[in-house]
């Protein structure tokens, strides 16, 4: 075994593949179907299993005592398009997360601001076209001391009217010394793909019920 100070044990091989650190917020899909936006901060540590599959461990913070609250899988469009129709409805798109500045790569030590901004922009150009399937096991935002009940399917905000971003992102922005609006400005050049009609199904279910155009 390894002590926390000595780093990961060489035998803990899956952890050595973690190569990406992201933060954003996730929303509860079942509540979004009712037009409610309950969100929780989501800190991602991701590995690229294959060129067409990423897997992320989701924690409630980036601190040493962070709690593992879920997992997210990400795939590109060509993989998503070949999923069964009912399966497609469990996945969410990332275009608003990227373009709004909700999703960031927190700056790592050893990089200049210019180097990191370039690296982050390149990462966002890839992620904007990916689809994610996310399950949370632990509702820390509800005050649960341990994981309770069944896993919750999670999604993402897809429109500015669904949440007050200034409020939702304040803690994250303060923690990492960034602002989502500045990130959004820097990402204006990123091309936004049209999400598949079956993605983000919870929001569309609510919009359909209310007679709103999706």
pLDDT at 209: 73
Residue 6: what pLDDT?
A: 57
Per-block average pLDDT, block size 10, for the chain (214 residues)?
Answer: 59 87 97 96 96 97 97 98 98 98 94 94 97 98 98 97 96 96 97 96 87 44
User: Is the four-CA dihedral 171, 175, 177, 117 of positive or negative sign?
Assistant: negative
Residue 173: C-alpha distances to residues 24, 52, 56, 98, 100 (Å): 10, 30, 21, 15, 13
pLDDT of 212: 46
Q: What is the CA radius of gyration of the chain?
A: 17
pTM for this model (two decimals): 0.91
């Amino acid at each position: 075994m390894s002590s926390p100070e000595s780093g990961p044990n060489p035998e803990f091989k899956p952890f050595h593949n973690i190569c990406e650190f992201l933060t954003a917020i996730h929303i509860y899909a079942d509540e979004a179907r009712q037009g409610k936006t309950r969100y929780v901060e989501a800190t991602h540590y991701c590995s690229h299993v294959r060129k067409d599959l990423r897997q992320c461990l989701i924690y409630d913070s980036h601190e040493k005592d962070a709690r593992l609250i879920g997992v997210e899988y990400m795939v590109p469009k060509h993989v998503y398009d070949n999923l069964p129709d009912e399966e497609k409805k469990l996945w969410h798109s990332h275009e608003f997360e990227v373009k709004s500045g909700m999703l960031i790569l927190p700056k790592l030590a050893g990089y200049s601001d210019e180097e990191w901004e370039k690296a982050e922009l390149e990462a966002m150009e890839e992620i904007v076209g990916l689809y994610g399937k996310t399950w949370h096991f632990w509702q820390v935002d509800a005050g649960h001391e341990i994981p309770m009940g069944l896993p919750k399917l999670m999604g993402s905000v897809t429109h500015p009217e669904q949440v007050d971003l200034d409020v939702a992102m304040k803690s994250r922005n303060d923690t990492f010394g960034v602002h989502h609006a500045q990130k959004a400005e820097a990402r204006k050049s990123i091309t936004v793909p049209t999400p598949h009609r079956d993605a983000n199904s919870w929001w569309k279910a609510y919009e359909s019920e209310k007679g709103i155009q999706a």
